């Protein structure tokens, strides 16, 4: 089949052993599958290690609908200011959850022994992903520790420690 219209990248589990957050996201967007260009959709497979997570992140250009294929996931999103209300649920195989466009959301595998797998459909051929911790503490150039210390109401030493961590991108 034409490489512009088909992909076989979602059939194999991704290794989560070396992931600091315990997950790996395999995205199929217009960059990987040019036939998606202008169609307004993309798809991702997420593999979770036991106790792995897809850390808090947002998609600036897409709503996401997630379906659990294997295992159990604790998922949720937080509404915007001023309420910052958490909507969360434990999902099992076959369950579906929607994450509205632009809202911070996460997925966590609470099982200590079994991995989990999910498929996410996104309403954009280029949804984007902003992992919150990476953006705030791992930006290039770094955000001033004065700004972050005041924003998070912690000591500068805490910010310095956080900025010194290696911030992993599990969206690759």
Q: Which residues make up each annotated binding site for oxalate?
A: 54, 59, 64
**Helix, strand, or coil here: 163?**
helix
Q: Measured between alpha carbons, how far is 160 from 151 in angstroms, rounded to an integer?
A: 14
List 65's β-bridge partners, or say none.
Answer: 98, 121
- Which residue numbers belong to the known binding site for Mn(2+)? 57, 59, 64, 105
- Which residue numbers belong to the known binding site? 54, 57, 59, 64, 105
Q: How far apart are the first and last CA of the chain?
A: 24
Q: Measured between alpha carbons, how far is 64 from 131 in angstroms, rounded to an integer?
A: 15
Sign of the Cα pseudo-torsion (155, 159, 161, 162, in order): positive
Give the phi and the psi of residue 35 in degrees, each rounded to 5: -65, -15
Strands 86-91 and 73-78: antiparallel
């Amino acid at each position: 089949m034409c490489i512009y219209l088909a992909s076989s990248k979602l059939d194999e589990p991704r290794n989560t052993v070396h992931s600091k957050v315990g997950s790996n996201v395999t995205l199929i967007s217009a960059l990987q599958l040019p036939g998606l260009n202008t169609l307004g959709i993309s798809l991702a497979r997420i593999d979770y290690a036991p106790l792995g997570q897809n850390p808090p992140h947002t998609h600036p250009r897409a709503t996401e609908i997630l379906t659990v294929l294997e295992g159990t996931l604790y998922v949720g999103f937080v509404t915007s200011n001023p309420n910052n209300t958490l909507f969360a649920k434990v999902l099992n195989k076959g369950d579906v959850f929607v994450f509205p466009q632009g809202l911070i959301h996460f997925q966590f595998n609470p099982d200590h022994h079994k991995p989990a797998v999910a498929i996410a459909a996104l309403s954009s051929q280029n949804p984007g992903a902003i992992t919150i911790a990476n953006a705030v503490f791992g930006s290039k150039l770094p955000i001033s520790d004065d700004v972050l210390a005041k924003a998070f109401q912690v000591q500068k030493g805490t910010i310095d420690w956080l900025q010194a961590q290696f911030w992993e991108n599990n969206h690759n």
